[in-house]
Each structure stands twice: as structure tokens, then as C-alpha cells.
Amino acid sequence: MSWRNIIWIAIILCLAAVALHLSGQRGPHAEPTDPAVKDLAGALETYELLNEHGYRVLPPARATQGAIEGMVRQVDDFSVYIPPHKLNDFNRQASGERFGTGLRIGRHGERILITGPMSGSPAHKAELYGPMEIVAIGQERAADLTLAAAREMLRADDGEPVEIRLRDRDGIDTTHELSPETYRLPTVTGIVRDEDGRWVHLLDEPHGIYYIRISEFVDKRTPKELYDAYPRSPPPRALVLDLRGNPGGTGLQVAAAVADRFLPEGLIVRTEPRKRKPDTFDAHAAGTFPPVPTVVLIDRGTASAAEIVAGALQTHGRGLLVGERSYGKWCVQSTFDLGHGLGKVHLTTARFHLTPARRPAAATTAPRTGQAPAPEPEMPRWLDPEVPVKLTSRAAQRLEALRVQEMVVPRPRRSTTTAPRLSAPAERLRRAILRYDAPLARALKLLREERVPTTRPAGAPALRTRPAKTTRSRTPWH
């Protein structure tokens, strides 16, 4: 048997093994007589055609990975193939981790300045607080770099240490070497940081309105961070729960645990696998936060686990949805190791549904004898806010830049007092966020006017209000 035939057979066996794995059959190997091998014969013919007529020869390993990627994409839009060289990035993302130096920068006129470090990053450990001017990165003068190029060098994706030369306000230059490493960011944050770097959740003191943002759902971290962040003394009189830009996370259990904090009882979510019995997640009275008027902010980036939480609070009458239509990712995904050094697949294994109250009303008349029952109504593909509010593109861009400033850790204060307080820059940042963030400003207005009920019966009409006008972007503050 020629080496060429051996390579072809190896490709077919790998593809067949993947096909059998995705179809739920057991066993890592496939015999040449299996139907899956015959069905994949076209892949072999395509491989032969590419190497016969193509300008470049396609190595067997790349052909196998390309075929796997193509098969996984046929499952749905959310299933993905993770080749070996991308496993580290995938694992970091799934665990809520980041890699790099964690130094955030911005441009001020002709100069590139440090904005500050990300919490727990190498830059944070080196105490590189802003503002300081970057004179050089490695052998490159900062004056010769674009902001994008400087950020790419500081990310240090190659894992090599980065040397930077900084200049403080007194004109004194210092040199620092930052070794990129993995660090964790909090998944539950507030509106800004106080002078000690702690998150501030109090949004409106006279009305007792608090703000909690969940950026992603990560294992047991997010429920614990939520519990620690939730104010207790004094307790909130109203709450804004921000789930915008939240892509979901590591599992339904995390989303159910978060929703359980706001719901004393009832079904949170139900899954519908293809081969197993449905799984249900119910709320429990123990550990439930005291009910207060709550606004949940959503947008086109609110997906998967974030939609579970938002939808559960909406369904049970515990939250008023404000913002834009959600993404619409109603699927449960699991990760499988393919073996053979091929990487992993992140595969859709089930659909999930919220409580029955979110389903369209079923027909009340029973079918006649011998007549098939009416099909169950389809679930909505996304969540629609009860109070729609959109951002202009310019306001969204400005708000994104403000969020970057919000995430960096400020230089610790020298005061000996323990009472939390906002520095002047943090107070300006808070006001700027409210100035550009139209959905948050609308939520605050509704809560101040006491137009959001603490609870309402499931399926009851929500608050009706005219859509807010989009805000015009103004000259950025400095």
C-alpha cells in the first residue's frame, strides 16, 4: 500500500471518528466498512482534487482540521471547532481569564499615556498607575507608534516580556519590564471605582438606587461575586441589573444560581436535549434577596445565560427590561475533547426554554377524537425590552471608551480614613457615563419616579412608555 493511500485512509478514519462522536455513538475508531466512512468518501475525493490541481499542496493535518471545522459548522451557528493552537485562548475565555500585561493606554494629543492597570494584572502588581507618559516600548519610540500598534505590543500575545520607558509628571524617566501572564477580572462590577479601587454600586443615594453589572457568567465565581457585591447595610430601595454585552458563560447552573437570588420560587429554565430527559432548574426561597423594584438592562450583546437571567426575571414579574432586543442564543453547549491531538469541539447539545409564561397561549379547545394535537407554539427567538432605548453609534463608542477607564484600578489614596469616597476623576467619570448611557439614564428615571413595581403577576402587562429619543454625542470631557 502506498503512503498516499495510507494518508487517505487516515483522513477518512479521523473524519469518521469525529462524525460518530458528534452523532452520539461510542467508540473512538471507525472501520472502513462503516456507513460514516462511505458517506465521507467525498471528502477524500475533494482532498485528492485539491492536491492534484491546487497551486499548493494541502498537508493531511490541515485537511483533517478543515474537514472537522466544516462539519461542526453544519450543526448550527454556535457550534465551533477549537484547533490545538487555540485551546489556551478558549480555556482562558471559558474561565473568565485574560492574558497579557494588563496595561491600559490612551492618546492625549501627540502623547500616549497610561490610563491604568487592570485588576490583578502584571501592570497592577508593578503599580503602574496613570497618568504617565509612555516614552518607548521596547526599541520603538512611542512618538513613532500608533495607538493600535502600542496596544498590540503591550498585549504581548507571544508571551515575551515587554520593556517600557515611562515619564512621570516631574519629567523623571523610569524603565519597567512586564512579563505577560494570565489574570482574572471580576465578573460583577459597579458604576465606578472609589479611591481605594473598590467598586461603587450606589448610583443615587437620595433614592437608594444601586447598580450591579454582570459582564459574564463564570463557574462559581459569579454567584459569589454577586452575593458579596449586593448591598445589605443599608439595603437598596431599587436596583439596576446591567446584563448588556454579556455573552453568557460556562453553564446553565451559573445562570440559574444568579436568577435564584432574585426569585423565591418557580421554574427558572428548562432544557430540551435530543436524547436525554429535560433538565429543570427551580428557584428557592432560601438566600433570596429582598424584593425591590428592579430594571434589567439588555442589548444585542445579551446572550445565552444572560438571557436566562433576564428572561426569568421578566417572566416572574421581578424585573423590567430596558434597552434593546437581546441576541437570541437559546442553546446549551458542552465541550468535547476529540483526542488524536485534534483539539476540541464546543457543541450545541440542547435547547433551553424559560418558564411556561413566556410561551404563547395555547388553544383552550381540546382536539377531537382521532385528531392530532396542535403543535406546541415556538419560543421567541430573543428577548424584547418593555422599554426600548437605543444608543447612537457615537454615544456607544464614547461609552465604550468610558467603560475602559472604569475598569482600570486608580492609584491608591494616601488618606487614612476608611469611608469610601469618589475621587474627582471618578465622579467626572460617573457623570459622563450617565450622560452618554441613555438606557441607564432611562432606568434611573423610571426608578426615581417609582414607575417600576416590585413584583407583578406573571404575564401581566408591563409598563408602557414611549421609546426614548436617542441621545446626541457631545464633546468628550477631559
Omega before 236 within 30 of 0, i.e. cis: no
Last residue of a domain, one of 41, 74, 107: 74
Residue 453 resides in a domain: no
Last residue of a domain, one of 184, 212, 233: 184
- The answer on 317 and 277 residing in a single domain is yes
Confidence of residue 203 (pLDDT cuts 50, 70, 90): very high
Q: Read off the CATH number of the domain in which 246 is found.
A: 3.90.226.10
Burial of 102: CB neighbours in 10 Å, binned 0-12, 13-18, 19+: buried
Query: What does residue 20 show for φ and ψ, rounded to 5 degrees?
Result: -65, -40
Hey, how many other C-beta atoms are within 10 angstroms of the C-beta on 404? 14
Residue 406 resides in a domain: yes
- The answer on 195 and 167 residing in a single domain is no
What pLDDT shows up at residue 62?
85
Contact yes or no for 179/122 (Cβ under 8 A): yes
Residue 278 resides in a domain: yes
- The answer on 117 and 7 residing in a single domain is no
Q: Decide if pLDDT at 468 tops 50.
A: no
Residue 55 resides in a domain: yes
Q: Please choose, from the candidates 421, 427, 428, the residue with its C-alpha nearest in 3D space to the C-alpha of residue 195.
A: 421
Confidence of residue 420 (pLDDT cuts 50, 70, 90): low
What pLDDT shows up at residue 109?
83
Hey, how many other C-beta atoms are within 10 angstroms of the C-beta on 85? 9
Residue 460 resides in a domain: no
Residue 252's identity, in one-letter code, is L
- The answer on 404 and 387 residing in a single domain is yes
Q: Read off the CATH number of the domain in which 119 is found.
A: 2.30.42.10
Residue 435 resides in a domain: yes
What is the phi-psi region of residue 12: left when phi exceeds 0, alpha when psi lies from -120 to 50, beta otherwise?
alpha
Last residue of a domain, one of 168, 184, 200: 184
Question: Which domain covers residue 171, as residue numbers?
Answer: 97-184
- The answer on 351 and 325 residing in a single domain is yes
Mean pLDDT lowest among 108-112, 170-174, 239-243: 108-112
Q: What is the pLDDT of residues 330-339, one digit of tens each?
A: 888 888 998 8
What pLDDT shows up at residue 413?
73
Q: Please choose, from the candidates 250, 253, 258, the residue with its C-alpha nearest in 3D space to the C-alpha of residue 188.
A: 258
Residue 14 resides in a domain: yes
Q: Decide if pLDDT at 43 tops 80.
A: no
SS3 of the chain: helix, strand, coil, percent, to 5: 30, 20, 45
Length of the chain: 478
Count structural domains, the chain: 3
What pLDDT shows up at residue 237?
96
Contacts of 189 (CB under 8 A, 6+ apart): 199, 212, 213, 215, 406, 407
- The answer on 312 and 192 residing in a single domain is yes
Q: Please choose, from the candidates 218, 245, 240, 220, the residue with its C-alpha nearest in 3D space to the C-alpha of residue 230.
A: 240
Mean pLDDT of 12-34: 50
Contact yes or no for 207/448 (Cβ under 8 A): yes
Residue 17 resides in a domain: yes
Tell me how far apart the alpha carbons of residues 223 and 235 are, in angstroms, rounded to a whole number.
Answer: 18
Tell me how far apart the alpha carbons of residues 227 and 287 are, in angstroms, rounded to a whole number.
Answer: 9
Tracing cell 450606589 back to the chain, one arrives at 202
pTM of the model: 0.80
Q: What are the grid coordinates assigned to 124, written together?
A: 497592577
Hey, how many other C-beta atoms are within 10 angstroms of the C-beta on 71? 18
Element (H, E) at 258: helix 252-260
Tell me how far apart the alpha carbons of residues 258 and 310 are, in angstroms, rounded to a whole number.
Answer: 10
- The answer on 192 and 176 residing in a single domain is no
Element (H, E) at 308: helix 305-315
Q: What is the pLDDT of residues 74-112, one digit of tens each?
A: 888 889 999 998 888 888 777 778 899 999 998 888 899
- The answer on 331 and 249 residing in a single domain is yes
